[in-house]
Structure 1
Amino acid sequence: MKVLKTLAASLLATAALTSASLACEVTLKSSDTHPDGYPTVEAVKQMGKLLEERTDGRICVEVFHSAQLGEEKDTIEQTKFGVIDLNRVSMGPFNNLVEETKVVSLPYIFKGVDHMHTVMDGPIGDEILAAFEPHGYVGLAFYDGGSRSFYNKVKPIKSIEDLEGMKVRVMQSDIFVDMMSALGANATPMPYGEVYSSIQTGVIDGAENNWPSYESSGHFEVAGYYTLDEHLIVPEVLVMSKKSWDNLSPEDQAAVRQAAKDSVPFMREQWQAREKASEEKVRAAGVEVVTEIDKEPFMAAMDSVYEKHVTSENLKDLVARIRATD
């Protein structure tokens, strides 16, 4: 079945190439689960534009949005084998593969978005990107994933007690599952594309995500309570298949890496604008947004998550260095 999925994805990608990309010597296929126009999708397009300009049209990037090549778990595997060249992926699915990604997936590890930017733009971020390579990927850049908060269709969440027994979708990550258990909720890992119907039919009560994802997915239509607890500020990562990377010359590798880095400021501008627009749309739709919430009990409940997942000296050191970063 996996072979058939991989073959189908490859055929789809090949069939969808535009005449412009066919003129390139190298066309890098890039995957994203988000819809066209989403900041991460537009950022990879910007990377492709820069790369095409800087290589005189030799290297192009073809972006396949809206999970055209599969959900993240599937595309991660395809990327490792070089069927997909570039992949914008949430950090959670990598937690069990690349140990260092666990740190930035920890609840309340960052003091805010600016703190996250400082950490990920510096040596700690470079160290985490380098950690992908032994696993078959080349880490290129970090994009914003916003602040993730809870939403559901049952009731407004105003305290940790309101989460008791609630069925909440999380990404397929042990950290996220344990986070929900520590808060008294029932974690339900499932692919992003199944969340809408699962809330609608009562399989789950809600989920957690940022403003743009809550809005663009339409989840606000079926889950009308959104609580700004901001338990996670998890950057997203753009990776390249090591197999595809090794097919490039050192000069082209440098061009790819630089174009990815240069797409980050563009992405952040897009993100800030999209976040504002998404919030306005959600509020206009009548969603009840809880802004006044005491985060201290939520943060205190995370002690068990840190104890379970921050076990190696490497991770303990990363946590300490992130907390020490101003």
Structure 2
Amino acid sequence: MTGMTAFTALALAAVLAVPAHAAERLVLTSEAGDRDSVLGHAMQDWAKQIEENSDGRLRVDVFYQGELGGQQELFDQLVQGNIQMMITWPQTSYDQRIGVNYIPYMVLGWEDAIASFGPDGWIRKVIGPVYEDLGLKYFGPFPEGFGGIATKGRHATSAEAAQGIRVRSQPIFPLPQTVQAMGFQAVPIDWNEVYTSIQTGVVDGDSSNVIYWDYEYFRDQLDYFVQSSHNFSSYSLLMNEATWDGLAPEDQAVVAEAAQAVMDAQFANARAEDEKWIAKAQEAGMEYIVPTPAEKAAWVEKVRAEVWPQAEEALGAEIMDQVRANASVPAAE
């Protein structure tokens, strides 16, 4: 278990140290979301359905944000098979093509997002083979909504106004590049360090998350949420492929059907859930700002012009040709 923290190693050892005749134990985790979050409830639902529908042949131990390590470490352990299942924003450290999940301004509205990321969506067809190359079984996406820029002190709805504002970015290509192209200073920081970074002034805010995360975890630090919608926030339901291959066919069906049920529920509820947290944030005093159509169009044009060529270099022309063929068309002014 190279690269694991002592805590992670001990925690997993305790879970996996079970008698040979016992039910097969699986570890499910995520880098974000406590047990009471939407993501936490989704993990609980996936685990519960697996245990019930396998008639006890499978047991799932759920660990929430920070309990087994940071974002990169957890993804490393998933690839290595020390952790068996995750709902995660996958890391691009193994294969830059995973960055297709994070291409900025690829979809510009909910209808396009649901069609593109949904069960029959083109993005799912593009990304599935990439995960297979990494030794991961991809069940599909867990959509949250459109990300924004949350800040304290001042905010920006243009590249010019964003100058000098430092915001945290997920350390995943091409999100830092996107935020930089929008005019902000992007500072890649792991999720577990975001609150302290805002509190101590390392950054002036957070970026690329739906408002839930900024309201729920940082509302005492942040004043504004600008709905830039530069990314569509979507986690992935993944399983180590060697673990998957080792399951009996009937148990593979149980795990896959439970995953689909979790995703179906999230696709049905994601938009309403996002709107609920927008309202809650406003009630709590966070100012919610939607850029004008002209301001958004300027960001779309600038970001696509600067970041999409970088994405093509990293992801390859084949993937970016599909992005260009299927991406949302900006509304005429």
TM-score, scaled relative to structure 2: 0.87
Following superposition, the deviation at residue 13 of structure 1 comes to: 4.0
SS at the partner of 1:37?
coil
Aligned to 1:285: 284
Aligned length: 318
The answer on whether the counterparts of 2:155 and 2:162 sit within 8 Å (CA) in structure 1 is: no
Residue of structure 2 aligned with 1:319, choices 295, 315, 323: 323
Residue of structure 1 aligned with 2:105, choices 99, 103, 108: 108
Paired AA for residue 235 in structure 2: E
Following superposition, the deviation at residue 269 of structure 1 comes to: 4.7
Can you give the 5+ residue segments of structure 2 that lack an aligned partner in the other structure?
A: none
Aligned to 1:198: 197
- Say yes or no: does 1:310 pair with 2:307: no
SS at the partner of 2:160?
helix
SS at the partner of 1:310?
helix
Q: Using a 3 Å threshold, how does the CA distance of structure 1 residues 45 and 269 change in structure 2: closer, same or farther?
A: farther
Distance (whole Å) between structure 1 residues aligned to residue 212 and residue 96 of structure 2? 28
Paired AA for residue 288 in structure 1: E
Q: Using a 3 Å threshold, how does the CA distance of structure 1 residues 39 and 310 change in structure 2: closer, same or farther?
A: same
Following superposition, the deviation at residue 103 of structure 1 comes to: 2.3
Distance (whole Å) between structure 1 residues aligned to residue 136 and residue 325 of structure 2? 25
The answer on whether the counterparts of 1:179 and 1:305 sit within 8 Å (CA) in structure 2 is: yes
The answer on whether the counterparts of 1:152 and 1:225 sit within 8 Å (CA) in structure 2 is: yes
Matches of residues 61-72 of structure 1 in structure 2 within 5 Å? 61-72=60-71
Q: Using a 3 Å threshold, how does the CA distance of structure 1 residues 257 and 199 change in structure 2: closer, same or farther?
A: same
Following superposition, the deviation at residue 14 of structure 1 comes to: 5.2
Aligned to 1:295: 296
TM-score, scaled relative to structure 1: 0.88
Paired AA for residue 95 in structure 2: V
* Cα offsets for 1:235-265 (capped at 9, x unmatched): 2101111232232123322322222112112
Distance (whole Å) between structure 1 residues aligned to residue 22 and residue 259 of structure 2? 19
Q: Using a 3 Å threshold, how does the CA distance of structure 1 residues 62 and 274 change in structure 2: closer, same or farther?
A: farther
Distance (whole Å) between structure 2 residues aligned to residue 25 and residue 176 of structure 1? 41
The answer on whether the counterparts of 1:150 and 1:206 sit within 8 Å (CA) in structure 2 is: yes
Aligned to 2:173: 174
* Cα offsets for 1:27-52 (capped at 9, x unmatched): 21111121112222212222222222
Q: Using a 3 Å threshold, how does the CA distance of structure 1 residues 123 and 66 change in structure 2: closer, same or farther?
A: closer
SS at the partner of 1:299?
helix
Off by >3 Å, runs of 4+ in structure 1 = 1-4, 13-17, 268-274
SS at the partner of 2:60?
strand
Distance (whole Å) between structure 2 residues aligned to residue 29 and residue 130 of structure 1? 24
- Percent sequence identity is 23
- Say yes or no: does 1:118 pair with 2:115: yes
